[in-house]
Amino acid sequence: VYEVPEGLAAAKAGMEPGDRLKMIEGVHVDDLDREGLQARLRGPAGSKVEVTVVRGDEVLHLEVERQVLERVEKRGRYERVE
C-alpha cells in the first residue's frame, strides 16, 4: 500500500502506507493477477470485504466497507513482494 487517502474506505478500515496486502477474502494475493485483485476488491457500495495485511511483524485482518469513488487516479504500481 503506497497511499491511503483520508476519508476513503481503506483509511476508515485502518490501512496505512507501507502495509502489504496478503489476502482478500481468504485468497492469497500471489494467486491473483491485477484483474483478479480488482475484481475481489470491487463490489456494491456498502458491502464489505475482508483483507489481510502485514504491517511490520503483525498480521492484521481488516474489514473494508466498499464505497463509490468519484474519481480513481492510478498513481501506484503493482508488484509482488516476496
Q: Dig out the grid coordinates for 35 from the structure.
A: 484483474
- What pLDDT was estimated at residue 82? 47
Asked whether the beta carbons of 24 and 49 are under 8 A apart, the reply is yes
Higher pLDDT, 72 or 29: 29
Let me know how long the chain is.
82
pTM more than 0.85 = no
Higher pLDDT, 82 or 2: 2
**Lowest-pLDDT range, 55-59, 70-74, 77-81?**
77-81
Higher pLDDT, 71 or 68: 68
- Provide the percentage of residues in the chain whose pLDDT is more than 70: 84
Radius of gyration of the chain (CA): 12
